[in-house]
Structure 1
Amino acid sequence: MITPKEIKIKASRKYTSVLQSLVLNKPFEKLIIRGDKKYQKDSLQEFEKEILLINSLSKEKKGFGYTLEFQQVKTKHLGTQDLPTSIYFETKYDYLKFLGKEKEEVLFLESTTKIKEAFPELEPWILKNPLKVIQNQAEWDGILSVCSYFKQTPNPNIYIRELPINVHTKFIENNQGIIKDLLDSIILDHIKVDEKLFEKRFNLKYAEPQIRFKILDKTISERFFNGLEDIATPINQFETLNLPIERVIVLENKTTFYTALTLPEIDKTITIFGSGFSVSNLKNVSWFKDKTLLYWGDLDAQGFEILSQFRGYFPQTKSIFMDKFTFDKYYENEKGTTSNITTSLHLTHEEQELYNYIKAGTLRLEQEKIPFDYVNEYFNKM
C-alpha cells in the first residue's frame, strides 16, 4: 500500500506543472495521485497499521492534504476490507499546504508578476523555468535592472564592473547563469550566439588571455621592441603582430620557458609559453599558417594530446624532444596522470607509438628533466 512519504514524493513531481498553471491563471484541477501498489499483507495487524498511517496525514484528519476514497475489496487472506482506491488533492490549498509551499507560491506569483510587467516577452521562459524563478527569488530586482540596462544598451563595450547599474560589484558575475538565460530572449538580435564567455556573448570588454613570448633574434627585438626580449601581450594584439619571423617554438611548460630565456640567438625566431591545453588561445593566430612551428611538450599522455590539439589548428607543426630516443635516455620512472582520451589524435606514426606506450604505463618525462646542453645542441644547429 502506498505510504504518505510516497504520496509526498509523487505530489512534489507535479509541482512544476502546478506553477505553470498559476502563471497561465488556470484554475486548480483535482490532482490525482496514483497508488500503483497492491495490498499484499496477510497480517490483519499490519493491514490496520498501514491504514492508520495513510489516514493520519489525510485531509480528513489534518484539515488539508490528500483526500482518500475507500472501497470494499475482498482480499485473499483478510476477507473483505475497506481499501483506498482513490487519492487526490481537491484544492490548491490542500496541495500547497501538504507540501509546505504556501509562502513560496505567494512569492512566486509576486516574482512572475514583476518579471512579466518588466518584460512580457519572458512569459515563455517563466513557463519553461518556474523553479528558476523561485531559486532566484531574492535577486529579481537586481536581475531585472541588469536586463533593463542591456535592453536599452545592447552593445556596451565596457567592462562588467563599469556598467552603470545600481547593483553590487560582483552581482552580475554571481548571477551570470540566470542573466544569460534572460538576455538570450530579450536581446537575441544583438548577442553573439556562438560565444560562451558572458562578456563576449553580450558585447562587453573582458580581460583577455596574455600571450608570453621571447624574441630570439636581437635584430627584431631592437627594431620592434626597443631591445625587449621577454614580452606578454593580450591575445587580440598578438594576433595582429607583423614581425619578420619564420619560426615559432611553442613550449608547454613554464619552467622550460624560463630556461628558454637562455636559449641561443636564433634568426627570425620567437618562442612562446603555450601553457598546456591553453594553446587553444593561439588557434586564431592567422600569421602562424605560413611559419615553421615547433612544439615541445612534456613526454606524457597529456603532452601528446596537447600537441595533437595544436597540430589540429596548424597541421605543419613539428614536435621536438618528444621522441623515443629522448624518452629512453632521460626517463626517471616518474608516473604521470591517467588519460581517458579515446578519440583519434593528430600524431605521426612514431608519436602515436610512443603515446600509446606512455599512456598504457601512465609514464611521464617532464620537459625540465631534459638537460639543457642536450636542448642547446639541437638549437645551435639552427
Structure 2
Amino acid sequence: MITQKELKKKATRPWSTGGFLRQWLAGETVFPLEIPFSKPSGRILTSDFGKVRDWIAMLQRHSSSVKGSGYRLEYKTVNHKQLGQQRLPDRIVFESRDDWLGFIGCKDAFRQFDEITGLTKRQLPDVMPFLSDKPLKVIEHADNWPNLIRVCRYFQIRPHPDRYIRQLDIQGVDTKFIESYKSILSELLTLALEDDDFDDSVTGLAENGFERRFGLRFDEPLIRFRLLDSQGPVTDMSVPLSQFVEPTEQNISTVYITENKINGLTFPNVKDAMVIFGLGYGVRSLKSVEWLQGKKIIYWGDIDTHGFSILSAVRHSFPQTESLLMDQATLDQHKHLCVQESESKRFTGQLNNLTVPESALFTALKNNEQADNLRLEQERVGYSFIIQALKQPEHTI
C-alpha cells in the first residue's frame, strides 16, 4: 500500500529525470498522469482491515476532492468473501499539469523554465537543443540565464575576441561571472557559434581550455631557458609560451629539459644547445612549440615514478626524446643519497612512451622491488656525473 512519501517520489520521477520538460518542449503531454501502486490483497483485507481503512482515509484526505488540487482518487468495488463489497482505491491520476506541479512542489521551477524557454527562443535559438538535453541544468542556472545569453551573444558578434576575459565589455556581466561559469558557457557557446568561430580540438577547461577554445588571451606559462653556447650579455631568459621562438643568434641543435631549477642554472656549457628548466608536468605545454620537433631533445628528471611519467609525457610530444642519467647505473651509484617518494603522490599508472630499460626501471620503482618508494632526486646526482655524461668532444665547449 503506497504511502504519501512513496506517492510523491513516484510522482516526481517525470520531473527529476527531465522527461516531462523534454516532452513539454516537444509539444507532447504526459497528462492524465497515472501513478501505479500496489493494492491490498484479499489476505491483507482479512488480516488487517483497520490498516487498510486508515490507508484509504489517508489517500482520500490528500486527494483533489478534499484539497481542491492534486491527484484524483478513483475507486473500484470488489467482493470479499468475509467482508462483502468493499470500495478500494484503484487509480491515482493527475489530470492536469498544474495539479501535478503543485503536488510535487515544482510550480515555481516550471515557471522559470517557461520564461527561460521564451527568452532563449527570442534571443539565442541556436542553444534550444541544450534546454531539451539538459533541462534540469537550465533550471539550476535559472537566475544566471539572462547573463549567460548576453555572453553568448557577445561572442556571436565578436568571435575570437583576442582579449583577456577582464577586457570583455558585456553589459551587466563582470569578469568573475565568466570565470565562474566557464563550464556551462563552453557548452552553450559550442551551440551558439559557427564551427569556424571556435577551436573544436580543445576540450575541457584544464590548461586554459576555455580561453584557447574560444579565442581569448590568457596568462601563458613562462618558459625559462638558458643558452649554453652563447657569449652574449643575456643567456638566461623567461618568455611566454607563444613567444618562445627559436633563438636566431645561436644555432640550436640540442635542447635539454630538466625539472630542477638549480640544475638548469648550473647546467654545463654545451655546443649549439639550450636547457629548459623548472616546468615539471608543465612540459606538456611545449607540444605546441613546433620548432622543437626538429631538434634533438634530451630529458633529465628525478629517478622516481613521476620522473618517468614526465619523461613519457615529453616523449609523447617529441618521440625523438632521449633520457639522461635516468638509468639503473646512476641509481646504483647514488642509492645512499636516495629518499622516499611520498606514497600519496606516486604515479602507479601505465606509461607507454618509455624504452625497454626505462620501462624496467620504472616498473621496479613502482613495485618497490629495490626499496620502498625509492626516489633519487636529480639535484642529489653528483655534478661530476653530469659533466661526465656530457663529456663528448662534439657537444662540450
* Structure 2 residue matching 1:218: 3-state secondary structure: coil
AA in 2 matched with 1:250: I
1:207 alignment partner in structure 2: 219
Separation in 2, partners of 1:14, 1:232: 57
AA in 1 matched with 2:271: D
1:308 alignment partner in structure 2: 312
1:348 to 318, 343, 355: 355
1:297 to 298, 301, 309: 301
1:378 to 376, 382, 389: 389
AA in 1 matched with 2:269: E
* Structure 2, unpaired ranges of 5+: 204-208
Residues 1-382 of structure 1 mapped to structure 2, 5 A cutoff:
1-15=1-15, 16-24=18-26, 26=28, 29-35=31-37, 43-48=48-53, 50-72=55-77, 82-166=87-171, 167-189=173-195, 190-196=197-203, 197-219=209-231, 222=232, 227-239=233-245, 241-242=247-248, 243-252=250-259, 256-273=260-277, 275-331=279-335, 332-336=338-342, 337-342=345-350, 345-361=352-368, 362-381=373-392, 382=396
Residues 183 and 263 from structure 1, CA distance in 2 versus in 1: closer, same or farther, beyond 3 angstroms?
A: closer
Separation in 1, partners of 2:272, 2:96: 80
Residues 286 and 53 from structure 1, CA distance in 2 versus in 1: closer, same or farther, beyond 3 angstroms?
A: same
Separation in 2, partners of 1:89, 1:8: 12
Offset, 1:212: 1.3
Residues 117 and 345 from structure 1, CA distance in 2 versus in 1: closer, same or farther, beyond 3 angstroms?
A: same
AA in 2 matched with 1:157: D
Contact 2:267 2:275 in 1 (8 A): no
Offset, 1:77: 11
Separation in 2, partners of 1:37, 1:212: 75
Offset, 1:118: 0.8
Residues 335 and 148 from structure 1, CA distance in 2 versus in 1: closer, same or farther, beyond 3 angstroms?
A: closer
* Structure 1 residue matching 2:367: 3-state secondary structure: helix
Contact 1:239 1:284 in 2 (8 A): no
* Structure 2 residue matching 1:217: 3-state secondary structure: coil
AA in 1 matched with 2:375: R
Offset, 1:27: 5.7
Contact 2:223 2:279 in 1 (8 A): no
**Offset from partner CA, 1:54-78 (integer Å, 9 cap, x none):** 4454334433323333335578999
Length-normalised TM-score, structure 2 = 0.83
**Offset from partner CA, 1:22-46 (integer Å, 9 cap, x none):** 4355566211222268768554455
Residues 259 and 155 from structure 1, CA distance in 2 versus in 1: closer, same or farther, beyond 3 angstroms?
A: closer
AA in 1 matched with 2:25: V
Contact 1:28 1:91 in 2 (8 A): no
Contact 2:293 2:318 in 1 (8 A): yes
Offset, 1:17: 2.8
Offset, 1:244: 0.8
Separation in 2, partners of 1:339, 1:270: 29
Offset, 1:356: 0.7
Length-normalised TM-score, structure 1 = 0.86
Separation in 2, partners of 1:31, 1:129: 22
* Structure 2 residue matching 1:358: 3-state secondary structure: helix
Separation in 1, partners of 2:382, 2:23: 71
AA in 2 matched with 1:322: M
Contact 1:73 1:83 in 2 (8 A): yes
* Structure 2 residue matching 1:232: 3-state secondary structure: strand
**Offset from partner CA, 1:266-317 (integer Å, 9 cap, x none):** 2222111262322211113232233222111222222212211211222221
**Offset from partner CA, 1:215-258 (integer Å, 9 cap, x none):** 22233xx1xxxx22221112222145444112211112xxx222
* Structure 1 residue matching 2:237: 3-state secondary structure: strand
Separation in 2, partners of 1:115, 1:314: 46
Contact 2:254 2:273 in 1 (8 A): yes
Offset, 1:51: 4.2
Contact 1:280 1:310 in 2 (8 A): yes
Residues 65 and 261 from structure 1, CA distance in 2 versus in 1: closer, same or farther, beyond 3 angstroms?
A: same
Offset, 1:80: 7.4
Paired positions, count = 372
* Structure 1, unpaired ranges of 5+: none
* Structure 2 residue matching 1:250: 3-state secondary structure: strand
